[in-house]
């Protein structure tokens, strides 16, 4: 887990490294297999865009490079490839609190990563579209885009995102960067926006009242992605035992 300052900067510091021919062939094989599985399961189509991979993480500065999404997926499929690929795919993850409680989403059963698990939406890889002309990344823009695509909420519905921390997943090395958000919208309004305009990223969406948060976390157990518990703790919404702090 990495603490973050409110003014943390994310910077593209170098070009994407080349791969050995045999490694590139293995990446392609794993990528094609994963694409076919995801499409067959009804979780949509994947494409090989460019996403940010973190190399050095400090409270005020995160540096890395843009890499192919197929490399990220290959490492998810076969974590031992981290020894050669060294990818720490950075994802922005909202910690969204509405007037009715905390928003949770269950990932599609055919998702390429953590299928069927619950997390704090919105969430998504930081991609090349977030890169500014000076090489820094606009995390706010990335998160608000995910907010609109996944939940159907407009940017002006939420507060300014506040960095919480970065949690690196064991095995896959995906690194989730939590950003706390608050909206005055009711639970019903958030869920209605998701039904009306959200995409198929989540099979289910729930708003859990803060009074029920400890009970809900206990019920989910290992079905909740581990970074979510840390984000709730750092945002002051749960303690180390997973109990609500409210």
Pick from 155, 146, 205, 206: which is nearest to 176 by CA? 146
pLDDT value, residue 222: 93
Q: What is the chain's mean pLDDT, rounded?
A: 93
Is pLDDT larger for residue 171 or for residue 141? 141
Q: What are phi and psi of 212, to 5 degrees?
A: -105, 5
pLDDT value, residue 201: 86
Cβ contact 185:153 at 8 Å? yes
pLDDT value, residue 245: 52
Which residue carries 């708003």 as its tokens?
Answer: 207
Sequence spans of domains, the chain? 2-234
E strand or H helix at 128: none
Q: What is the pLDDT of residues 118-132, one digit of tens each?
A: 999 999 999 999 999
pLDDT value, residue 99: 95
- Helix locations, the chain, DSSP H: 21-40, 69-77, 82-85, 139-146, 187-197, 213-220, 226-234
d(CA 147, CA 179): 12
Percentage of residues in the chain having pLDDT higher than 70 = 97
Sheet-wide strand order for 9-14: 9-14, 61-68, 50-57
CATH superfamily of 2-234: Nucleoside Triphosphate Pyrophosphohydrolase (3.90.79.10)
d(CA 230, CA 233): 5
E strand or H helix at 150: none
Q: Spell 9-23 as b/e; 16+ CB within 10 A means b.
A: ebbbeeeeeebeeee
Q: What is the pLDDT of residues 197-246, one digit of tens each?
A: 998 889 999 999 999 999 999 999 999 999 999 999 988 887 665 445 55
Q: How far apart are the first and last CA of the chain?
A: 24
């Amino acid at each position: 887990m990495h603490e973050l300052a409110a003014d943390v900067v994310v910077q593209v510091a170098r070009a994407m490294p080349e791969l050995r021919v045999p490694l590139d062939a293995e990446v392609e094989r794993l990528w094609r297999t994963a694409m076919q599985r995801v499409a067959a399961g009804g979780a949509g189509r994947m494409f090989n865009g460019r996403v940010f991979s973190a190399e050095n993480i400090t409270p005020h500065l995160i540096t890395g490079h843009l890499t192919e999404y197929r490399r990220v997926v290959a490492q998810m499929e076969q974590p031992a490839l981290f020894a050669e690929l060294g990818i720490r795919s950075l994802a922005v993850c909202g910690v969204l609190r509405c007037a009715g409680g905390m928003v949770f989403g269950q990932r599609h059963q055919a998702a390429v990563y953590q299928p069927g698990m619950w997390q704090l939406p919105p969430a998504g890889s930081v991609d090349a579209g977030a890169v500014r002309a000076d090489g820094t990344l606009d995390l706010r823009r990335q998160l608000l885009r995910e907010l609109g695509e996944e939940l159907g909420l407009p940017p002006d519905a939420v507060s300014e995102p506040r960095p919480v921390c970065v949690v690196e997943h064991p095995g896959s090395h995906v690194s989730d960067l939590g950003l706390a958000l608050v909206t005055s919208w009711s639970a019903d309004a958030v869920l209605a926006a998701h039904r009306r305009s959200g995409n198929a990223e989540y099979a289910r969406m729930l708003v859990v009242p803060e009074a029920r948060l400890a009970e809900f976390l206990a019920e989910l157990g290992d079905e909740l992605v581990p970074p979510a518990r840390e984000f709730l703790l750092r945002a002051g919404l749960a303690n180390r035992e997973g109990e609500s702090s409210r």
